[in-house]
Structure 1
């Protein structure tokens, strides 16, 4: 009888040990397969994010072409450098002199991580560069690795209608060409990039207002109204890009 009891206890110990080992293995497997917070964030705005490309005569800039639905529901504007230095100088000069659209078609990435301080931050990507709109008949001219130099605007689009249409200067002072972008707020929205040729003052400065606003209206203000707001000649203001259809 004592021998049977010993055998029974040994079998029970083996079964208990095997069960504990199986539970531990299952827990480790769950940890490996369960999406982490970083993984979930990485998939938040994964997609192909087309952008407007423009120049102030000293740098290149890009502005994401947003929509109100994910993964494109962010307004992002940044300065950039292309890998080919000769092409960099050529684009800076050419785009500053033109009032026509250039755009870039990047490889797919998570827009939330562009220029962020997080572990999955994206500071470089490969993109096709188009003369014209990359989805509306533009012609592909180059393929380049692009480096993000500094973020200027990065915000999730808000569908709540504001009381004002707020414009922000997105390029540095003391340049012959400066740009303003409408902060995209309220649905339907407006993506509006303004190009301004600034004239030097008596002390040879080219400083313009950092921002300005208009009372909210369904349509964008005219170039003439913006010139009046900035107290400059109307011919010095040109709309580079105006989009409403993608922001309904």
Structure 2
């Protein structure tokens, strides 16, 4: 009887572990916004505060030869395009791996009434250009800083999402601003501050709803 009890007790942690839900399941739905650097296509992962979605990630991607020019043409018309891949493991992006996945492309935001335009397109994720993990919501972090990166001769600013209320913001600029810190400014004010420096700036993406308290 004692031996049986010991076996049951030894097996209890394994049973509990099997019944515990995966708190940080990286495999699932990971939406992205599409934008262009000349003739190169880029995607930015649409992050959330909760793990495992709490990563800002920018990748260079390629689409089939007959599809990529169509997408680039839409982006040149300043259309917002979002990408919804089939479920995949986000750690592939976090670890800067090259991989392939099928995806749908939407006019506008796929979660904000966007219309599906292309279905089941093969997407090759070829190179990671940027990675940043969002701060924990219980650790105060400001929302005034931007990171800069360039690709194929074009320069971009990506907002460092802070604690709520934050925002996801991607800008294309003709030159680097004097500094990348904009304390106590809204996204709209930041556009004006950059333009005052004689810099051409185009807002590629802005999301506030997902980053409210």
1:190 CA drift (Å): 1.2
Q: 1:135 is paired with a residue of what secondary structure?
A: coil
Distance, in Å, in 1 between the alignment partners of 2:185 and 2:164 is 10
1:135 CA drift (Å): 1.4
Instruction: State the match for 2:4 in structure 1.
Output: none
**RMSD of equivalent CA atoms:** 3.0
- Could you tell me which runs of 5 or more consecutive residues in structure 2 were left unpaired when the two chains were aligned: 1-6, 8-13
Q: Is the 8 A contact 1:168 1:210 kept in 2?
A: no
Distance, in Å, in 2 between the alignment partners of 1:210 and 1:149 is 29
* Larger helix fraction of residues: 1
Distance, in Å, in 2 between the alignment partners of 1:115 and 1:87 is 26
Q: Is the 8 A contact 1:165 1:216 kept in 2?
A: yes
Q: Which residue of 145, 155, 158 maps to 1:181?
A: 158
Mapping of residues 10-159 of structure 1, within 5 Å: 44-82=25-63, 84-95=64-75, 97-114=76-93, 116=95, 123-142=99-118, 143-158=120-135, 159=137
Q: Which residue of 177, 191, 195 maps to 1:223?
A: 191
Instruction: State the match for 2:10 in structure 1.
Output: none
- Could you tell me which runs of 5 or more consecutive residues in structure 1 were left unpaired when the two chains were aligned: 1-22, 24-30, 199-207
Distance, in Å, in 2 between the alignment partners of 1:91 and 1:191 is 22
Q: Is the 8 A contact 2:144 2:185 kept in 1?
A: no
Instruction: State the match for 1:195 in structure 2.
Output: 172
Q: TM-score, normalised by structure 1?
A: 0.67
Mapping of residues 152-167 of structure 1, within 5 Å: 152-158=129-135, 159=137, 160-162=139-141, 165-167=144-146
Q: 1:72 is paired with a residue of what secondary structure?
A: coil
Distance, in Å, in 2 between the alignment partners of 1:124 and 1:77 is 15
Q: 2:66 is paired with a residue of what secondary structure?
A: helix
- Structure possessing the higher radius of gyration over alpha carbons: 1
CA distance 1:210–1:108, shift in 2 (3 Å): farther
Mapping of residues 225-244 of structure 1, within 5 Å: 225-229=193-197, 231-232=198-199, 236-244=200-208
